[in-house]
Amino acid sequence: MLKALNVCLEIDGPGDSDENATLHLLREVSFNVPPAHLVAIVGPSGCGKTTLLKVITGILQQTSGELHWDGRDLSDEEDLHPSDLGYVPQFSVAYDLLTVEESIASAMVLRTQLAQTEDFIPSLDYILEVTGLTHLSDRQVKVLSGGQKRRLGLALELVTDPCLLLCDEVTSGLDPKSEHEITDLLRVLSRGHPKRVVVNVTHSLASLDAYDSVMVMYQGVLAFHGPPKAMMHYFAVEHPEDVYLKLTERKKDDWRESWEKHRDTYYKRHGFDGPRVLPEDEVKNGGPSKTSVREERVVADVDMTGVPEHHEFPPIEMPSMMTQLFELLKRRWTIFRRDSAQVWLHLAMLVGFPLLVVIFALDGIKPLQALSTHQNDNVQQEYQQLKKHGEEQLKAGGLVSGLIMLQVVLVTLMASNNAAREIASERLILEREKLGGLHPFAYVGSKVIFLGFFVLAQSLWMGFFVDMVVGGLPGDLVIRLVLLALASAAMTSICLGISAMSKTPEKATILCIYLVGFQLPLSGAVLTLPDWLENWVQPLIAAFWSWSGSLTSMRSTAFYDAVRQVTDTDLVTPAIAGFVLFVHVLVGLSMSLVGVQRSQWDS
């Protein structure tokens, strides 16, 4: 049983005056919804329908009032367990490249331990059958119609057999036939569990007769709650569409006061218990006594012909964090493998970027000749030798420095492409899965492992290929490879953090492009920054540390002096460079965890 008593939600207004200081999104909303019940929440746009739904789910926290579920006060006690709650948002919560069956099976693994039991296949088959998706089980989500995607959204929530199923606009925007079918499905689901309450927010008033009751919201207040026919009587209208026009004839507080005056009469007439504060002794005993609650009510008949017999789910327990991690990783690889555009893009970068580097050194890197210590009697000839040696050093130093920096910049560009949209593009799906019990560490961990493969493949192949083609760059190859991989990992983690913090994938992509774009000019490899600015900028530029540490690894070779002639930037040891890049990785991962844990439902 779902109860609300004087639920209010207030936020700060845009103005400084008392009138605009506070906005009442919900004001003293009280209702009671019995078990095995289907209720519609209707009202004009912006009246608080979705806001009320989010308060019930716990996405938004009411500023005052009480919410009770099955005798528990959700304000004072813990929120609903993820297995008790099903929430179907307005947007699609499935990946386009997965099949219907894969989507449901993945949800079951992420939210239950059924995958390790014999009940897994029977439960999966039941969900497909009851939602009418059995014949579509092998189709990818991207080819489904709007009504079929709504069915899939419901199927994903049935994996835990929830007692409270909340739906936001699952029937809106559909053709009349599809809307009728989804409404019938909601009625069936409302009877599929002895305690289940199904709530559907909808703009459509065409199928209200299929609901057990209707809540009418108006400017944040509850104007009516009762059976559809009683609604017509209460508002004195002949057609449901006339209710919205009727609402405009009175102020919202007048409607709220009117309903509070008549609520108990309507609830008793139609078999609902009026909302009330539970006595203290009943709260201590776990809920109202049997004699204090009226369970008799009028329920609309539901035609169960053709509906599969209800499948008894075993007790639902959350899977371990490692189970979630491996399932997320498996799902991500499946999606990547089926995205041919992404596969070809990664292959093009993996092959093309190293080729772009070696174009500048197709003749290889010629060894530097040491300057002769023999004193030449011919002053002009000695001057020419010194001039030639200096030119060779400048050319060699510029080539080596440029090749290493180009490798680093291209690796960071690939890293940015890998991570910029990784979280932001699936943010809304992530929010829904978090509500279902997904552990943030499992989610971020799966991204780290998935992107880590690209970090190693792209950076190591870049280093090996360039070194092989040019005949070997001076210095320690292992150090260069490690610093190249660390630069890629640093940029990957920072861009992953930006993706987790961003509200849209477009914003994340733009920020990451800017970040990569400043790597070369601010690294000091081309132009030396002013001393006062260099100390502030260099710690933030991953390319500088990889480039600088790689050059320093040449200290024992003749090329080091040549490199020093083409740059005035202070270089650091490989150990310091590696440490700073590792700090970049930690900062990026911390940003990712914070961003993933932060709620962004309003994105």
Question: What DSSP line would sit under 351-368, residue for residue?
Answer: HHHHHHHHGGGTT--PPP
Rounded mean pLDDT, 356-385: 63
Percent of the chain surpassing pLDDT 70: 86
What's the rounded Cα separation, in Å, for the pair 153 and 87?
Answer: 9
- 166 torsion bin: left (phi>0), alpha (psi -120 to 50), beta (else): beta
Q: Which stretch of 101-105, 458-462, 532-536 has the lowest confidence by average pLDDT?
A: 532-536
Residue tagged 């004195």 (tokens): 236
Q: How many residues does the chain have?
A: 603
Helix 542-552 to helix 379-419 angle (10° resolution) is 140
Query: Comparing C-alpha atoms, which of 408, 406, 589 is closest to residue 487?
Result: 408
What pLDDT, on the 0 to 100 scale, is given for residue 371?
Answer: 41
How far is it, in rounded angstroms, from Cα 366 to Cα 364?
Answer: 6
Asked whether the predicted pLDDT for residue 15 surpasses 70, the reply is: no
289: Cβ–Cβ under 8 A, 6 or more apart, which residues? 282
Q: What pLDDT was estimated at residue 26?
A: 94
CA dihedral 534, 538, 540, 546 (to 10 degrees): 170
Quick one: tokens of 148?
A: 């079929």
**Cα distance between residue 403 and residue 381, in whole Å:** 33
What the block records as the tokens of 115 is 């995958």
User: Is pLDDT of 571 > 50?
Assistant: yes
Q: Report the Cα 176 to chain-centroid distance in Å.
A: 32
Give the residue from 12, 1, 51, 44 showing the smallest Cα distance to 29. Answer: 51
Which residues touch 381 (CB under 8 Å, ≥6 apart)? none
Radius of gyration of the chain (CA): 32
- The DSSP line for 220-231 is TEEEEEE-HHHH
pLDDT at 473: 87
User: Amino acid identity, residue 143?
Assistant: V
Task: Provide the 8-state DSSP code for 115.
Answer: G
The model's pTM is 0.87
Tokens of 357: 């580097």
The pLDDT tens digits for 199-212 are 999 988 888 989 99
**pLDDT digits 0-9 by tens, 133-163:** 999 999 999 999 999 999 999 999 999 999 9
User: How large is the average pLDDT for residues 531-547?
Assistant: 84
Confidence of residue 432 (pLDDT cuts 50, 70, 90): very high
**Residue 42 to residue 331: CA distance in whole angstroms:** 37
- The mean pLDDT value of the chain amounts to 85
Q: What is the pLDDT of residues 579-603, one digit of tens each?
A: 999 999 999 999 999 999 998 876 4
pLDDT tens-digit series, residues 304-363: 555 677 778 888 889 999 999 999 999 999 999 999 999 999 999 999 999 999 998 877
Region of poorest pLDDT, from 12-21, 24-33, 472-481: 12-21
Residue 481 confidence (pLDDT) above 80: yes
164-168 and 197-201 beta bridge pairing: parallel
